[in-house]
Structure 1
Amino acid sequence: MKKLLTGFINLFTLVFILAGCSDNSTPVEGEQYQLLPANLSTYRLAPVTEIFSLTCGHCRKMESIIPELENLTSEHFGKLHVTFNEGAKIGAMIYYTAVMQLGNIPDAAMMEELFAAVQMGEGSTLTDRQAAIEKAFTDRNLATPYHLTQEQQSKVLGMIQTANKVSQDGEIKAVPTFVVKGKYQVITSGHKDVEGIAKTISYLLTQP
């Protein structure tokens, strides 16, 4: 009886230790994600939308991680360019000029060219940046942001205005981040790795 009781206690202790050391995979509100102040689903965002800016160095790094996140979550991500300062507004004009003509998000190669052009380092001039931006468009037989028709300008302006409303209603103040189901914002700094971000996104996709 004593041996049986000792074995039970040892087993209970082992289970308790394992439970205490196990990884709680359920994301915590305020740590891994937060509820947005407004429901953005009326803007018809993709279920998972990356919020970014061409002027953001961290966004440029995130670009190479997006395919892995899409694979881990089995979702194709949308994109929305913020407009919360002058630099971001210029970046939005460039980005939405591409989206307007392609009817879709630019591919990885074009996105990298746009990031590289906008974030051109010290020693570069405005002329250098403009030339790099224009090349990214002309190489694909697209009109550049500097040579749009009135109709094209109106379409781009409409996209920028929508992006601005989303940013303001959602009180988006930092990028890169992800909005899930138009209701939740992922706190990227609350994760240690790509897998952690993917788990949070997958969890939020299951929430009402």
Structure 2
Amino acid sequence: MKSIFLALFLTCSIAVSAQFQERINYEVVAEKATAQATVTEYFSLYCGHCFQFEPLVEDVKSKLKPGTKFEKSHVSYIPRGNPEAQLGMVKSYVIMEEIGGEKEEEIKLYFFNQVHIQSRKIDDVATMKTLFIEKGITKEAIDKYFSDPKITAKAEKMAKEWELKQITNVPTLVVNGKYKVIMNSVKNMEEMMALVNYLVDKK
């Protein structure tokens, strides 16, 4: 009986492995994988598809293999031709992470809502600061966050990550820092999570 279950397990494993192929379902974007199993969502608060994907993030987290870390990285190529807004929004997201907790999520969703539901023009740092203030962060605190050298350095580092991982559209998932999921190669959440978890095990 034990050998039958083992045979079935191996058959299923082989079937899953055969289902996903490099350059069709994923691309290799780094030589080495991260030490810890990690899934990174590359996204932008300016991106409509990212806004639509956001409600699915908790579902993605819940279906990851145990011990897998989930993180987000804000890209800096949107909006085109506006360097202040590009880095400013990355810095805004880094500040949200610094604030942390429920407030981080509240502010992030507020930014998404203002851009995609209210169609608010957020194309400079002054407007971004205003949004933080509208969500209860004092002017003194937000000015301090934006001028903090550590936050600036973290934002500048994050602003370069998408290029290193060859991100050309968002949202895109990168697994273990090495495997970029070709998002349009899967038909639904079940297929996407099967692919992601397959790549989690791939070093």
Which of 115, 118, 121 aligns to 2:115? It is: 118
1:141 is displaced (CA, Å) by 4.0
In the TM superposition, what is the alpha-carbon distance from 1:54 to its structure 2 partner?
A: 0.4
Q: After superposition, where does 1:57-76 map in structure 2 within 5 Å?
A: 57-74=48-65, 75-76=68-69
Question: Is the CA contact (8 Å cut-off) linking 1:37 and 1:170 kept in structure 2?
Answer: yes
How high is the sequence identity, in percent, across the aligned residues? 22
User: Counterpart of 1:65 in 2: which secondary structure?
Assistant: helix
Q: How big is the shift at 1:49?
A: 0.8
* Residue aligning to 1:27: 20
Corresponding residue number in structure 1 for 2:91: 93
Give the alignment partner of residue 55 of structure 1, picking from 35, 46, 60. 46
CA distance in 2, matches of 1:153, 1:183: 31
Residue of structure 1 in register with 2:163 after alignment: 168
Q: How far is the alpha carbon of 1:65 from its aligned partner? A: 0.7
* Alpha-carbon distance, 1:45 to partner: 8.4
The equivalent residue for 1:193 is 188
Give the Cα–Cα distance (whole angstroms) in 1 for the partners of residues 128 and 76 of structure 2.
Answer: 22
Unmatched tracts of structure 2, length 5 or more: 1-14
Total equivalences in the alignment: 180
Quick one: which amino acid aligns to residue 182 of structure 2? I
Between structure 1 and structure 2, the one with the greater Rg is 1
CA contact (8 A) 1:40 1:169 kept: no
Counterpart contact for 1:54–1:88, Cα < 8 Å: no
> Which residue type is aligned with residue 116 of structure 1?
N
* Cα distance in 2 between the residues matched to 1:105 and 1:188: 30
CA distance in 2, matches of 1:144, 1:56: 29
- Within 5 Å, give how 1:3-22 maps onto structure 2: none
Compute the TM-score of the two structures, normalised by the length of structure 2: 0.72
Name structure 1 gaps, 5 residues minimum.
1-23
Q: What amino acid sits opposite 1:89 in the alignment?
A: L
Query: Partners of 2:175 and 2:32 in 1: how far apart?
Result: 11
Q: How far apart, CA to CA, are the structure 2 residues paired with 1:63 and 1:111? A: 10
3-state secondary structure, aligned to 2:63: helix
What is the CA RMSD across the aligned residues, in angstroms?
Answer: 3.5
CA contact (8 A) 2:146 2:152 kept: no
Residues 64-119 of structure 1 show CA distances to partners (whole Å, capped at 9, x for unaligned) of: 11111111224441010011243543321221121123289932x43221111233
Residue 80 of structure 1 aligns with an amino acid whose one-letter code is: S
Q: Distance in 2 between matches of 1:118 and 1:139?
A: 15
- Between the aligned partners of 1:39 and 1:179, the Cα distance in structure 2 is 13
What is residue 15 of structure 1 aligned with on the other side? none
**Distance apart, 1:174 and its partner CA:** 1.1
- State yes or no: 1:84 paired with 2:77: yes
